[in-house]
Amino acid sequence: MKLRDLLRGVAVVSSNADFDMEIPVVAYDSRKVTPGGMFVAISGFASDGNRFIPMAMEKGAAVIITGKKPQEDVPYVQVENDRLALALIGSNYYGEPAKALTLIGVTGTNGKTSTTWLLKQVLEKVTGGMAGLIGTMENRIGDEVLPTDRTTPESFELQGLFARMRDAGCRYCIMEVSSHAIALDRVGGVHFDVAAFTNLTEDHLDFHKTMEDYCDTKAVLFSRCDAAVLNRDDAWFARISRLAQCPKITTSAKETAGIQAKDVQLLSDGIRFTAVNCGGEIPVSVPIPGRFTVYNVLTVLGIVQALGVDLSAAVKALANAEGVRGRVEVVPTPGKPYTVLIDYAHTPDGLDNVLRSVRDFCKGRLISVFGCGGDRDPIKRPIMGRIGAELSDVAVITSDNPRTEDPMAIIEDVLKGIDSAAKNVEVIENRKKAIQYAMDIGQKDDIIVLAGKGHETYQEICGVKHHLDEREVVAAYLQGVRI
């Protein structure tokens, strides 16, 4: 592809390159540069890609795309925004694949994964069209599972995913859109048919610094879509709604909205409510427990309505929907009188939601096992400690992913939010031992919630990932294996 074609739509500041040169390969990692290819030097967040221009040239790069005019004597194109340029170059390189898909983006602190997974099931069952999925746990093209290591891929990989979905015959692409992806232009140049907002609670303040900035970053998504679905029960709804300059469908479980949930029933095996909209009332039943399921389902119904898909058919599909691995996931405990649930709750709001939801149907004691991640916003640690201690009959404080931090230092931060006189708190640094302790004390009708790891099958300690699947820990305990 000619350089000029790759740069279509990119704002160019200056250049000494031949725009008619043919570019066979594009790379933003200097280690992946091939002779005759393009190297996009990304500046900023983790490191400055401009430092690797000499390496890229040694490997045969024919042209450098950069936001800074190179000091080296090399063929270059200086652009206004290097991250946005990479996104647009990716779109051009893959033939603007997003235009062949109906794109749905879901953003918010919690609920993105469950909402996108439910929506995928609904759209495929109701319309018969294949749907791609891009998210925290995995990427999917129909039933094909593709591993992922971040919520939203880097822009060039994202465009490659769009292309694979297009070529596989996908009609829809449903994706979680993180605030990092918006701020760092991973979704630069992407226009969504529908975008949805689930909620906003304290998270990623190490990156955004303030909740207002976090909110406003999320709101950018709603300047890039044809229709918005917004949860009006969230405290940040008014600000998001004000910034969303597109037609809106609101959802609520508390007041009148575009789609409202009335007569909500929270059961141990699922939820039920009546969905009220301009078309009347529809009884809804979904076999996934938890108050948050009500909100996830409302968001799905709002998106379905925005897409013009039959709402009654969507509700029928939801009646047989499957939950997400690691989201209020029931772990088999044959022969035991208690229940073990695994959930990804790793934020104050997430922990609050899962514990309150479980409390709605828990007949015995609620035992929680949780910690906080290292190298992340420390402000939320005492908040999570307070929530866990107040909402649990027994709170077992342990490690999550300490990463490069001292595990006990993180636990000490968590304990700052708990009354020192509290008698329902246990501290066990080793997460496997913490799980075993919870099962040791489990009694009839108790529910043990293992919060924080969810779908993850590792624990990162001192910068090294160690295998840890909580399902295996539970199974081993039941077989008499202890550490």
What digits encode the pLDDT tens for the residues 188-234? 999 999 999 999 986 555 565 688 988 999 999 999 999 999 999 99
- Do 258 and 303 have their domain in common? yes
- The answer, yes or no, to whether residue 268 has pLDDT greater than 80, is no
Percent of the chain whose predicted confidence (pLDDT) is above 90: 84
The two tokens of residue 403 are 């990463």
* Predicted pLDDT of residue 202: 64
- Do 312 and 290 have their domain in common? yes
DSSP label at 9?
T
- The answer, yes or no, to whether residue 47 has pLDDT greater than 80, is no
Per the CB < 8 A criterion, the answer to whether 292 and 352 are in contact is no
Q: Which of 236, 123, 106, 119 is nearest to 177 (CA)?
A: 106
Average pLDDT over residues 240-247: 92
> Regarding predicted confidence, which is higher, 109 or 128?
128
* Predicted pLDDT of residue 270: 86
Task: Read off the CATH number of the domain in which 387 is found.
Answer: 3.90.190.20
Structural domain contains residue 157: yes
* Predicted pLDDT of residue 448: 97
Average pLDDT over residues 73-96: 97
What band does 289 get if pLDDT is binned at 50, 70 and 90? confident
- The answer, yes or no, to whether residue 412 has pLDDT greater than 90, is yes
The two tokens of residue 14 are 């200056």
DSSP label at 321?
P
Average pLDDT over residues 401-426: 97
- The answer, yes or no, to whether residue 362 has pLDDT greater than 70, is yes
Per the CB < 8 A criterion, the answer to whether 354 and 380 are in contact is no
* Predicted pLDDT of residue 464: 96
Percent of the chain whose predicted confidence (pLDDT) is above 70: 97
Residue range(s) defining the domain that contains residue 438? 329-478
Amino acid at 477: Y
Among 261, 295, 318, give the residue marking a domain's end.
318
Average pLDDT over residues 303-332: 94
* Predicted pLDDT of residue 375: 95
Read off the pLDDT of residues 456-468 as tens digits, 9 standing for 90 and up. Answer: 999 999 999 999 9
* Predicted pLDDT of residue 210: 87
* Predicted pLDDT of residue 45: 58
- Do 351 and 273 have their domain in common? no
State the sign of the Cα–Cα–Cα–Cα dihedral 16, 22, 27, 31: negative
Structural domain contains residue 372: yes
The label of the residue with tokens 């828990």 reads 362
Read off the pLDDT of residues 349-361 as tens digits, 9 standing for 90 and up. Answer: 889 989 998 998 8
Average pLDDT over residues 36-65: 91
The two tokens of residue 61 are 């790069």
Structural domain contains residue 21: yes
- Do 352 and 232 have their domain in common? no
Average pLDDT over residues 123-147: 94
Read off the pLDDT of residues 422-471 as tens digits, 9 standing for 90 and up. Answer: 999 999 999 999 999 999 999 999 999 999 999 999 999 999 999 999 99
* Predicted pLDDT of residue 205: 58
Structural domain contains residue 483: no
- Do 383 and 274 have their domain in common? no
- Do 304 and 248 have their domain in common? yes
Structural domain contains residue 187: yes
- Do 452 and 308 have their domain in common? no
Among 42, 73, 93, give the residue marking a domain's end.
93
- Do 169 and 234 have their domain in common? yes
Q: Which of 104, 99, 97, 147 is nearest to 124 (CA)?
A: 104
- Do 43 and 187 have their domain in common? no
Average pLDDT over residues 252-276: 93
Among 93, 121, 150, give the residue marking a domain's end.
93
- The answer, yes or no, to whether residue 291 has pLDDT greater than 90, is no
Task: Read off the CATH number of the domain in which 13 is found.
Answer: 3.40.1390.10
What band does 483 get if pLDDT is binned at 50, 70 and 90? confident
Structural domain contains residue 426: yes
- Do 156 and 281 have their domain in common? yes
Average pLDDT over residues 153-175: 97
Whole-angstrom Cα distance, residue 391 to residue 384?
A: 10
- Which pairing describes strands 131-134 and 172-176: parallel, antiparallel, or unpaired? parallel
* Predicted pLDDT of residue 207: 65
* Predicted pLDDT of residue 82: 96
Whole-angstrom Cα distance, residue 93 to residue 25?
A: 9
Structural domain contains residue 324: no
- Do 140 and 210 have their domain in common? yes
Average pLDDT over residues 294-316: 97
By residue count, the chain amounts to 483
263, containing H or E segment: strand 259-267
Task: Read off the CATH number of the domain in which 104 is found.
Answer: 3.40.1190.10
Q: For residue 328, what are the contacts with CB-CB under 8 A and spacing of at least 6?
A: 288, 289, 290, 293, 341, 343, 354, 357, 358
- How many domains does the chain fold into? 3
Q: Residue 123: phi, psi to the nearest 5?
A: -65, -40
* Predicted pLDDT of residue 292: 87
Structural domain contains residue 323: no
- Do 165 and 232 have their domain in common? yes
Q: For residue 269, what are the contacts with CB-CB under 8 A and spacing of at least 6?
A: 287, 289
